[in-house]
Amino acid sequence: MDVDTKISVIRSFAAEIVTEEELRYVFETKEHPLAYDGFEPSGLAAIHFGLLRAKILKKLLSTGIHFNLYLADYFAYLNNKLGGDIDHIRTSGKYFIEVWKAAGVDVSKVHIIWNKDLMHEFSYWERFLKVGKAISLDRVKRAITIMGRKEGEAVSAGQLFYPVMQVTDIFQMDVDICQLGLDQRKANILAREVAQKYGWKVPVIVSHPLMLGLGGMPPELKTKDEAVLMEYKMSKSDPKSGISVHDSAAAISEKISKAYCPERVVAGNPMFDYLEKLIVEDKKQPISIDRPEKFGGRLEAKDYQELVKMYEEGRLHPADVKGFVAAELEKQVRPVREHFEKNKEARELYEQVKSFSVTR
């Protein structure tokens, strides 16, 4: 795969690349650049974690990128996830690994790293102090949105370590590409600034988009602002906001039927968010939606853009879109759900995590 094709693959899912010129240089100078994404083990997986992340990861691996999946156990502890119970958090991390396997991630092709193991190295804390010296307290406070907290929200002294630790991780793992969600942008920008100050390797940022929660987002708020995104995104710590990878076909259908889906409005509409990010992977392929004969029968769109146009013109009803989305999500969720039903070890982890008290 040539460099232009690799960049095209990255562009196909990225919400933002900082910068594309630097990404090109990375691909030109390294056959296997290293990227990472980090996860707080904090409860049952929703589709943005269990499905979208797996799709993006497969695309990244296809370009020759090597990848660290980083289980941020002490980050979850600082952020009081699962009541701050470190044993529950680590059980949840093991469950996350099973979700990735069930979603089709070949875990032999990625490097799974636990925060606890990285932090045991003295060099981590030496680097942590250097990073902390390079960042003002005000910048740290503004970056707490990466924790799912609002800017200005009261936090503990320990939680102020969180952004500094996240930046430290990047250099400790020596990554070339920070491939996290758009809500983590502030930490990644801090990492670039710290690197420039000390003359360290400047990481490229490839931010993947966040998925909307079932409640959608007012179309006038279409934005990349982290605070707005955090309010309307799908969250694994808020089961009501999304679809779980364990939901039955009936549960998926019921949740989708109640979701925000205003007529003729695509912006901020979670149904089209799921279509674009999960269901219609090739935007140039034709799309067929079955409808009752009394409502016009099967609808054919030559590609995704035509489907959007049909909806905006009122030629496609929200109920038909919801039915299509529910059916397609069920097809993708089913293998993950069945993995946890049929695999004894995975099922036991699921039952344990399901019993834990979710805290935010």
Question: Facing residues of 69 across strands?
Answer: 37, 112
Q: Look at residue 67 and give its three-state secondary structure.
A: strand
> 28: pLDDT confidence band, cut at 50, 70 and 90?
very high
Number of domains in the chain: 1
In this prediction the pTM is: 0.91
Q: What is the pLDDT of the chain when averaged over all its residues?
A: 92
Backbone angles phi, psi at 244, to 5 degrees: -85, 150
Say how far apart CA 180 and CA 87 lie, in whole Å. Answer: 25
Structural domain boundaries enclosing 208: 1-360
- Tens digits of residue pLDDT in 186-223: 999 999 999 999 999 999 999 999 999 999 888 777 65
Least Cα distance to 290 among 323, 254, 248, 241 occurs for: 323
CATH number for the domain harbouring residue 310? 3.40.50.620
Q: CA end-to-end span of the chain, whole Å?
A: 42
Residue, of 349 and 238, whose pLDDT is higher: 349
Query: What does the pLDDT average to over 18-39?
Result: 97
Say how far apart CA 83 and CA 90 lie, in whole Å. Answer: 13
User: 322: part of which helix (H) or strand (E)?
Assistant: helix 318-342
Backbone angles phi, psi at 243, to 5 degrees: -100, 130
Q: Is the pLDDT of residue 236 over 70?
A: no
Sequence-distant (6+) residues with CB within 8 A of 174 are 34, 201
The fraction of the chain above a pLDDT of 70, given in percent, is 96
